[in-house]
Amino acid sequence: MSNTIAYASIFQEELDKQMLVGATSGWMEPNSSLVKYSGGNEVKIPNIMMDGLGDYNRSDGFVKGSVNTTWQTHELTQDRGRTFSIDSMDVDESNFVATAGAVMGEFQRTKVIPEVDAYRYSKIAALAIAGDKASGGYTVAEATILNKLLADIANLQDTIGEGDPLILTLPFTVAALLDANTTIQKRMDVIEFEQGGIKTKVKSLDGHPIIRVPSARLKTAYEFLDGETAGQEAGGFKVAAGAKDINWIISTRNAPIAISKTDKPRIFDPNTNQQADAWKIDYRKYHDLWIPTNKLAGVFVNVKEAL
């Protein structure tokens, strides 16, 4: 049925919008504007290095310098998907778009977005720990959280300066203790934060927006279930054995580069579907996150357990 092509385009556009706006990590995706992506599972990310200032010579003029741009090839490691069937007795062509749109939207909201968020935050934590940009062993307490968070911000700014805006990512449980701190109110404000073209109001600390995330998405490691192996049939993800709790992530807005590609859904009407008298929808998502070497200095992760 030719209409299935139009349906697929509608769903792809709407799912991409929902992903960008709905994910708490959606602000990381615009950073991919410099990434070269030509299809498939590979991207190229620029890493720009340049010389510093030298003395100007009145006879010879400027000292020569160089700008070295290398393109690092990365693979989109997360290639995930599911197929769904909607019985023809439950829906006909006249209400297929509404029904299928509701099903796919709910699937992405409750299953895909939490998984993508969890993967991104755990990947940032792994890169920060490997790059000595993390600390562990602090159990959050209302009396000490403000000073500890401010110290981590100051240490990061001591390295990169104040030119790059910072984003603070905290679990709801940790953010609640921050809110309750008796000395924080004069440093808190509500500011405008844009994500996916949508402007919202969020609390900020000294002008740094605070992104609140369910704590289940802020662990240092996860297992992503394949949907087939015994015990993994339900798919999705779960906290990995030995995973640690992330207290907060401090990052410059331009450090993490996230890419999320929703492949155009494949739709088969009941007359085409050879497996059942049902509409069949194939959903595929591939995504990943990277932090270029020259941007890792703009990231710091605080972990509850000792590293």
Strands 237-239, 246-252: pairing is unpaired
Residues 296 and 255: beta-carbon distance below 8 Å = yes
Whether the model clears a pTM of 0.75, i.e. scores above it, the answer is: yes
Residue 59 has pLDDT above 50, yes or no: yes
What is the tally of structural domains in the chain? 1
Residue 223 has pLDDT above 80, yes or no: yes
d(CA 160, CA 171): 25
Neighbours of 304 (CB within 10 A): 16
Query: So what's the pLDDT on residue 261?
Result: 79
The identity of residue 224, as a single letter, is F
Average pLDDT on 207-220 reads 97
d(CA 151, CA 262): 39
The identity of residue 82, as a single letter, is R
292 SS3 class: coil
Angle between helix 145-160 and helix 172-180 axes, rounded to 10 deg? 110
Pairwise pLDDT comparison (1 vs 243), residue with the higher score: 243
Q: Which of 2-16, 167-181, 248-262 has the lowest mean pLDDT?
A: 2-16
Pairwise pLDDT comparison (32 vs 306), residue with the higher score: 306
Confidence of residue 267 (pLDDT cuts 50, 70, 90): confident
Q: CATH number of the domain at 199, please.
A: 3.90.1690
Residue in this structure with the two tokens 């279930």, named with its chain if needed: 225
d(CA 88, CA 209): 47
d(CA 164, CA 181): 27
d(CA 257, CA 292): 8
The identity of residue 154, as a single letter, is A
CA atoms within 13 A on the CB side of 42: 4
Per the document, the length of the chain is 307
Residue 221 has pLDDT above 70, yes or no: yes
Residue 94 has pLDDT above 80, yes or no: no
Q: Is the dihedral of CA 298, 149, 166, 72 positive or negative?
A: positive
Average per-residue pLDDT for the chain = 88
d(CA 236, CA 226): 8
Query: So what's the pLDDT on residue 186?
Result: 83
What string of DSSP letters covers 217-261? G-BS-EEE--SSSTT-TT-SEEEPTT--BEEEEEEETTS-EEEEE
Cite the DSSP H helix spans in the chain.
3-22, 93-107, 113-130, 145-160, 172-180
Confidence of residue 38 (pLDDT cuts 50, 70, 90): low
Q: Which residues contact 130 (CB under 8 A, 6 or more apart)?
A: none
Which of the residue ranges 28-32, 196-200, 289-293 has the most confident prediction, judged by mean pLDDT? 289-293
- Angle at alpha carbon of residue 162, lines to 153 and 189, rounded to 5°: 65
Cα end-to-end span (Å), the chain: 56
- Region of residue 161 (phi > 0: left; psi between -120 and 50: alpha; otherwise: beta): left
Range of the domain at 90: 3-303
Using alpha carbons, select from 206, 171, 181, 197 the residue that is nearest to residue 301: 171
d(CA 73, CA 93): 44
